[in-house]
Amino acid sequence: MKYGAKMIAESTLVAVDNDNPQRDFEIDFTIPEFTCLCPQSNFPDFATISIHYVPDRKLVELKSLKLYINKFRDQEMFHETAVNRILDDLVGLLDPRYMEVIGDFNVRGNIKTVVTARHAQEGFLPNGNGRGLSR
């Protein structure tokens, strides 16, 4: 096994301490080369994944996120499953005040699919544009 494939296979998501947990601030990640496999055809599905969150006590470590996302390339799953799994895994790791994951999938069979999944801690309300920064 080549070293890159080994790093991906052995990786786990890692959280690091937030040095500013007293403050609400927003973090955005754009992952333009996401791939997974269609569970019916096994053809690759391509998407841009956007992750937006307001952290609490933990932040996701970026290299671990990169390796985690690359694990999806060989997994068979529907678009909705992929987006919800990313949200569930990150919420389980970080317990953010607010998180939104959007999967903007390339056209397939003349259909464009965009999947949005959200999480908010109790008492944390998103502001008017659907993103969180108000209590």
Which residue ranges form the domains of the chain, and what is each CATH number?
A: 3-125 (3.30.1130.10)
For residues 105-128, average pLDDT: 90
Q: For the chain, what is the mean pLDDT?
A: 93
DSSP character at residue 42: -
Q: What is the mean pLDDT of residues 26-45?
A: 97
Percentage of residues in the chain with pLDDT exceeding 90? 87
User: What is the average pLDDT across 70-96?
Assistant: 97
Task: Determine the Cα–Cα distance for residues 104 and 72; give it in Å rounded to an integer.
Answer: 15
Where does the pLDDT of residue 119 fall: very low under 50, low under 70, confident under 90, or very high at 90 and above?
very high
For residue 133, what pLDDT band results from cuts at 50, 70 and 90? low
The whole-number pLDDT of residue 126 equals 73
Catalytic annotation, residues: 38, 45
Written as six digits, the tokens of 90 are 């990150």
- Looking at residue 76, what DSSP letter applies? B
pTM across the whole model: 0.92
- What angle is formed at CA 11 by the lines to CA 6 and CA 16, rounded to 5 degrees? 150
Mean pLDDT over 7-28 rounds to 96
